[in-house]
Amino acid sequence: MSLQRVRELLGQGVAAGQGDDDAVRRQWWAALATLQDDVLLNRSELSGVWLAAPLPALFDPQVLLQLKGWIWAPAELDLLLNAPPALLPGGGDSGQASARQLGQFTRLPLRDDDGTDPLLVVLTPTLQLAMAVDGPPGARRLLLRFEPALLSEVLGLIHERLEQTDRDAAAALRQQLQELGPLHSDEAMALQFWSKLAARLAAMAPSVTLQPVLLNETAESPEPPDPSGELALLEAITHEVRTPLSTIRTLIRSLLKRSDLSALVRQRLEQIDGECSEQIDRFGLIFLAAELQRQSSADGRGESQSLARTDLAALLRQMQALWQRQLSRRGLLFELNLAEDLPLVLSDPARLETMLGGLIDRFSRSLPGGSTVQLNLQAAGSRLKLQLHCDRSGEGNQQQEQVGPVLSWNPTTGSLQLSRQATQQLFEQLGGRLTERSGSGLTVFFPVC
């Protein structure tokens, strides 16, 4: 019994698809985000099971910690992590299909006839659904099924597969399903899910009309395109990047829980985890900047932010070790200087942590190896003055070219980053005021409580 039969069963009675692979993948990621953000995490008590192929699909740590999972994953996953074949449960040269526990989920071997399209089944006391992607090129479709009778057939096929390959896993799944009790269909939940998914897709789907580039600057120019299209596209891109990175990071962290990893493998996994976290935060800031810019374009002002008393000095001390590790990967040093007995400021500590990390990343990307990034915090009248500068005069302030309303491009390094305007707007939302002068680094002023 192949997993492809499960997808075929889910597709029975559903109209043929009309989308390309890019479109259906965007729908898939939006459905995963809807499932976790808007449905599962809204429940005070979460329990149940999930089954997925060929990767975990679920990526929110709160969900993964509370649900029991089974994953059919390819053997090549071992090679992608540059690990010995026996590193991952179910791997090795024995060829046996028995699965071992991997963090909060169990890994099972994926066969060649299982296909590579994503598949996910989630069963909780209040929600049961199956998701899949299938269809030939040009006729791809997202499948979402909630019917109890159909889900029972799906579970029958999956149980048949487990009985063939790993009876221990089959018994464990039976026990979990017995604890859940009979499947039932909540029609209101299905309707709400589709409504939430449609709203999420509408918010992230780009609405862009490509314009020809005019090589002759004196030629008559058409009306400039609506910037909201660019911003919506940017939001969609950042979402597409962050979601798979979150899945990879979750898988890496589950591996790091193992006690039999060699020092070299653990070091490399930790490096991958750090890079994923850094890029997730980076693209998260780009998403927030695009969202804020779109709101400002729509109503002339951004959404007001609720600020709270924040111990900025304590926050900097807490993040010091992380920033040192991130900068050391690029051959840079980090130095933190804090004045004594600093007062609290008004800000949003949760977002400020990510924003400050993004500011350090933005400032340091053009610095040569061996440079020292210095971060100073001191009182300045009724404000606290946070200053970033480099020990090499003139470095870190190379020419930046604007790319749309949110991003800038460094032609020397080829890196994209938040523009000065977008960075200033984000800090304004957090109660700060950013100033940037060539040769003197970056300065942010925060109001004292």
> How many angstroms separate the CA atoms of 57 and 120, rounded?
7
421 has a pLDDT exceeding 70: yes
Domain layout of the chain by residue ranges: 3-203, 227-299, 308-447
Average pLDDT, the chain: 77
Does the domain at 308-447 match CATH 3.90.79.10? Answer given as no
**Reported confidence tier of residue 184, pLDDT bands at 50, 70, 90:** confident
Identify the weakest region by mean pLDDT among 228-237, 296-305, 404-413, 428-437: 296-305
pLDDT, tens only, 40-61: 766 666 788 999 998 778 877 7
pLDDT, tens only, 337-389: 999 999 999 888 878 888 898 888 888 877 888 889 999 999 998 999 999 98
pLDDT, tens only, 109-126: 888 889 888 999 999 888
Model confidence pTM above 0.75: no
